[in-house]
A and B are shown apart, each in its own frame.
Chain A
Amino acid sequence: MVVNSDLSEEQADQIIETTMLEYPAAVTAKTKQKNGLWTVVYRVDGQADIVVADNPTEQDSDGLQEA
């Protein structure tokens, strides 16, 4: 599992979009940090994974809930 943190939203989207391009079965999640920056978490092997963010204010991904 890979965690990319301290990103702008645009950078986070680039990480997700390019990762999905390379690994279409990847599971990804995007979480807004308390400082306003964003974190992307993904797993490229297609297995389900759990992302527990540090007081997330917003989440956005396949199957994830809006906080």
Chain B
Amino acid sequence: MARRSTVASTRPDRAPGRQSASRGLLAVLPLVAAVSGCASFEGYPERLPAEPVVVEQGSAAAILGCADETCRNTRVAARMYAIDTNFSEFEQKLFQQMREAGFSTDVLTLGVTSAGAASGGAAASVLSAIGAGITGSRAAFEKEVLGDKALPAIHSSMRANRAHVRARILTGLSKPLKDYPPGIALTDLEDYYSSGTVLSALIGITQRAATAAHEAEQQLVSISGFASTDAANFLYGYAVADGLSDAEKRDRLNRIAAQYKAQGVDTRGIAAISLIRNPALAGQTAAVARGFGWKG
């Protein structure tokens, strides 16, 4: 069976709902191929294995010709099996190719940058910033994302996407023929196949990154100004008093933060110093300071 050699010409019957999401990313893989220097890398499993019985049973014509649930379920299952078999081989080859070629960093860098530009909005800024290394904790990002976790990220994303579509198909197969006709099943099977591609994995990673960026925005704590009240200065002096070891200072800061929490302040993700120096918490700071011996 001929292997796919390009991206644009290999997706004729993608599930309609994913067209727009994928279109912007279609530009990614040619770039990946260009930089990889690995002619054998394709990013796609083969369509069907060379098993005549399975191919025949799971062919589109066979599925579309079904007139009852048993026929539909048997033939859809055959096609799923064929896709699963090829996916297993594909995963193995992908792992080998990426390791040997050592281009996981290129794939992820291009994937993040291009996907970020395609997805739009604030998430795009964040993703593009990551890819371009404009600002941010690049060293940490490289270590966590572009390093050892690049390959597992692609694999786990493909598997997660496949599991999602598989559940949809299995749910469909439990329905009567009129509610889950062969044509819809075939569309879902195409989606199932697509879920096992690198392109699909990159889309999944991008979507999750966008979600993470959104959540980060939601959790943003903004503090303006710097409280220099007697209570704030007292607490700071108490926390970092001369002669204390770092461990003792850390303990004091933790205890101060706990007292703010006891005052009803949401302290999650906030260092004690930001609580102490927050002008908006002057009342709580005075109360906490009194708890540690401030006489004001």
A4: B residues at CB distance < 8 A: 223-224, 226, 274, 277
User: Which residue of chain A has the shortest Cβ distance to B222 in the bound complex?
Assistant: A3
Q: In the assembly, what is the distance between CA of A12 and CA of B231, in Å?
A: 19
Flag A23-53 by CB within 8 Å of B: 1 or 0 each.
1001101000000000000111101111111
Given contacts A7-B226, A49-B216, contact A2 B130 (CB under 8 A): no
Q: Could you tell me if B130 and A50 are in contact, using CB atoms closer than 8 angstroms?
A: yes
Q: In the assembly, what is the distance between CA of A41 and CA of B133, in Å?
A: 17
Partner of B137, one of A6, A19, A56, A62: A62
Kindly provide the distance from the CB of A59 to the nearest chain B CB, expressed in whole angstroms.
7
Kindly provide the distance from the CB of A37 to the nearest chain B CB, expressed in whole angstroms.
10
Residue of B133, B140, B253 contacting most chain A CB atoms (<10 Å): B140
Q: Could you tell me if B223 and A48 are in contact, using CB atoms closer than 8 angstroms?
A: no
Chain B contact residues: helix, strand, loop or mixed: helix
- 8 Å CB contacts to A: which residues of B78-95? none
The size class of the interface chain A forms with chain B is 35 or more
Partner of A18, one of B130, B222, B225, B273: B273
User: Which residue of chain A has the shortest Cβ distance to B228 in the bound complex?
Assistant: A11
Q: In the assembly, what is the distance between CA of A53 and CA of B135, in Å?
A: 9
B274: A residues at CB distance < 8 A: 2, 4, 15, 19
Q: In the assembly, what is the distance between CA of A65 and CA of B137, in Å?
A: 9
B271: A residues at CB distance < 8 A: 2, 15, 18-19, 22-23, 26, 42, 44
Q: In the assembly, what is the distance between CA of A5 and CA of B277, in Å?
A: 11
Q: Could you tell me if A22 and B272 are in contact, using CB atoms closer than 8 angstroms?
A: yes
Q: Could you tell me if B273 and A1 are in contact, using CB atoms closer than 8 angstroms?
A: no
Q: Could you tell me if B220 and A1 are in contact, using CB atoms closer than 8 angstroms?
A: yes
Q: In the assembly, what is the distance between CA of A21 and CA of B224, in Å?
A: 22
Partner of A15, one of B141, B239, B249, B273: B273
The size class of the interface chain B forms with chain A is 35 or more
Tell me, yes or no, whether B246 is within 8 Å of chain A by CB: yes
Q: Could you tell me if A2 and B221 are in contact, using CB atoms closer than 8 angstroms?
A: yes
User: Which residue of chain B has the shortest Cβ distance to A61 in the bound complex?
Assistant: B137
Tell me, yes or no, whether B6 is within 8 Å of chain A by CB: no
Tell me, yes or no, whether A14 is within 8 Å of chain B by CB: yes
Tell me, yes or no, whether B134 is within 8 Å of chain A by CB: yes
Given contacts A2-B221, A3-B223, contact A52 B273 (CB under 8 A): no
Q: In the assembly, what is the distance between CA of A29 and CA of B257, in Å?
A: 22
Kindly provide the distance from the CB of A29 to the nearest chain B CB, expressed in whole angstroms.
8
- 8 Å CB contacts to A: which residues of B116-163? 125-126, 129-130, 133-141, 144-145
B226: A residues at CB distance < 8 A: 4, 6-8, 11
Given contacts A3-B220, A22-B250, contact A27 B134 (CB under 8 A): no
A52: B residues at CB distance < 8 A: 125-126, 129, 134-136
Known: A52-B126, A65-B138; 5 extra A-B contacts, CB below 8 A, are A2-B220, A18-B239, A49-B137, A50-B130, A51-B136
8 closest A-B pairs by beta carbon, nearest first, are A63-B139, A18-B273, A48-B140, A50-B136, A19-B271, A48-B141, A22-B253, A11-B226
Q: List 15 interface pairs A-B (beta carbons < 8 Å), by A numbering.
A: A2-B221, A3-B220, A3-B221, A5-B224, A7-B226, A11-B226, A14-B273, A19-B274, A22-B271, A29-B137, A47-B144, A48-B145, A51-B135, A52-B135, A64-B135
